[in-house]
């Protein structure tokens, strides 16, 4: 079997997150693969619908939950439209896990601040659940999550669950104008809400993922709060095909996002050519 041949996975559950964003729960068809499959938070894979092609997504479920993986996607192109056509029981392909990961064991004993925008919550959600499944190994957990409108918030049931937990500080927000009459969260852009939440940088790291514009304005806020560049992590989502450092399309300078990333610290990103 060459490295481009995927495992087959079966759709076990379909969850609509928003009007155009959906989560698929996928189980390996081969019990032996299901048994040995392992990954780390932050890794990604190549998901495919036979006949439509392959697409790159993070693994949105945490490695602490065995036997399945989850993939959250927005219907945009040929493959994601085909993925949207799939029903429970349908078979698709998955290659992975690929790439580096968040250095979780080395963060034991620290506080973690999660900042996410839009569907950027998918890779962050994997880390959030990983941390919550090992909750006693971490200090404070703060989550700031925003979307353009209330309708664009993903993982709504989980947001509700995190909001109820006494061991999680959750701040949800929508862009001005994106609120509904019964919206109970904040109204404002993510960087402003991070400033309001003002999580302590003492013994803490930040995990940031979202649109480039959100990241751009969030980094200075985190720095003001005392987070240094080596304690801010993000995950890049470049276009990829092979996922294994061959096909050339995810290059940023000499970095292959698929192999050297997708997880980078802000310090590592600052050393890259301004081309992402």
Partner 1 sequence: MNATTISSSDLSGLAADLLAARVRVAGPARASDGTVEYRHAGAPAELVLDSGVPRRSLKEFFLPPTEPLFAWRTGAGGRVELLEAPLPADPAVVIGARPCDAAGIEALDKVMGWDYRDEPWFARREATTIVSLACAGFDRSCMCTSVGLAPDTTKGSDLLLVPIGGGAFRAEVVTAKGARLVAAYPARFRPASGEAEAEAFRKAAREKVAASAPPAADPLRPWLDAHFDHPLWREASLRCHGCGACAAVCPTCHCFDIVDEPETVGTGVRRRNWDTCQTPRFTIHASGHNPKNDQPARIRQRVLHKIVIYPKKFGEMLCTGCGRCSRACPGGMDLPEVLARIAALAGGAQ
Q: Give the residues lining the site for partner 1 (CB under 8 A).
A: 1-6, 8, 29, 48, 50-54, 74, 76-77, 80, 89-91, 93, 211-212, 237-239, 241-242, 244-249, 251-254, 256, 259, 273-276
Q: Which is nearer to partner 1, 142 or 218 (CB)?
A: 218
C-beta of 184 vs 254, nearer to partner 1:
254
**Angle, to 10 degrees, between the axis of helix 121-133 and the axis of helix 156-164?**
40
DSSP strands (E only) in 29-90: 44-49, 53-58, 69-74
Residue 105 or 274: the one with the smaller Cβ distance to partner 1 is: 274
| Residue 216: partners with Cβ closer than 8 Å, 6 or more residues away | none
C-alpha span between 267 and 145 (Å, rounded): 23
For the record, the structure tokens of 149 come out as: 């409108």
Closest approach of partner 1 to the CB of residue 253, in Å? 6
User: Least distance to partner 1 from the beta carbon of 224, Å?
Assistant: 27
Q: Shortest Cβ distance from residue 52 to partner 1 (Å)? A: 6
- Between 131 and 214, name the residue whose CB sits nearer to partner 1: 214
Taking the complex as a whole, the smallest distance from the CB of residue 74 to partner 1 amounts, in Å, to 7
CA atoms within 13 Å, Cβ hemisphere of 230: 1
Look at residues 154, 147, 148 and name the one whose alpha carbon lies nearest to residue 126: 154
- Contact between 116 and 210 (Cβ < 8 Å): yes
Q: Which is nearer to partner 1, 151 or 198 (CB)?
A: 151
Question: What gap in Å lies between CA 73 and CA 81, rounded to an integer?
Answer: 10
The smaller minimum CB distance to partner 1, of residues 113 and 240, is found at 240
The reply to whether omega before 7 is within 30° of 0 (cis) is no
The string of DSSP codes covering 117-184 is EGGGHHHHHHHHHHHHHTGGG-S-EEEEEEESSGGG---HHHHHHHHH-TT-EEEEEE-TT---TT--
Rounded (10°) CA dihedral 269, 270, 271, 272: 60
Cα–Cα distance between 256 and 228 in angstroms, integer? 24
CB burial readout 186-195, b (16+ within 10 A) else e: bebbbbbbbb
Q: Kindly state the smallest distance separating residue 127's Cβ from partner 1, in Å.
A: 22
Closer of 68 and 276 to partner 1 (Cβ): 276
CB of residue 91 vs partner 1: minimum separation in angstroms? 4
In whole angstroms, how close is the CB of 251 to partner 1 at the nearest point? 6
CB of 191 to partner 1, least distance (A): 19
Smaller CB distance to partner 1: residue 46 or 70? 46
């Amino acid at each position: 079997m060459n490295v481009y041949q995927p495992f087959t996975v079966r759709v076990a559950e379909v969850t609509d997150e928003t009007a155009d964003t959906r989560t698929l729960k996928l189980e390996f068809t081969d019990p032996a693969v299901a048994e040995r499959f392992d990954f780390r938070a932050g890794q990604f894979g190549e998901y495919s619908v036979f006949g439509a092609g392959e697409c790159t997504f993070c693994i949105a479920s945490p490695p602490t939950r065995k036997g399945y993986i989850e993939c959250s996607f927005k219907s945009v192109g040929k493959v994601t439209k085909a993925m949207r056509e799939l029903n429970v029981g349908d078979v698709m392909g998955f290659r992975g896990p690929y790439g580096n990961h968040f250095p979780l064991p080395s963060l034991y004993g620290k506080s973690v601040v999660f900042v996410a925008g839009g569907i950027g919550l998918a890779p962050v959600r994997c880390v959030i659940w990983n941390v919550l499944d090992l909750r006693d190994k971490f200090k404070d957990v703060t989550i700031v999550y925003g979307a353009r409108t209330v309708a664009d918030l993903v993982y709504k049931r989980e947001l509700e669950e995190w909001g109820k937990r006494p061991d999680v500080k959750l701040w949800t927000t929508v862009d001005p104008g994106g609120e509904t009459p019964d919206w109970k969260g904040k109204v404002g852009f993510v960087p402003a809400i991070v400033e309001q939440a003002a999580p302590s940088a003492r013994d803490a790291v930040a995990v940031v993922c979202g649109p480039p514009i959100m990241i751009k304005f969030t980094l200075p806020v985190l720095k003001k709060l005392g987070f240094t560049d080596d304690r801010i992590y993000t995950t890049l989502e470049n276009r990829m095909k092979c996922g294994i450092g061959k096909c050339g399309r995810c290059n940023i300078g000499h970095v292959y996002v698929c192999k050297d990333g997708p997880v980078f610290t802000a310090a590592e990103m600052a050393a890259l050519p301004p081309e992402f």
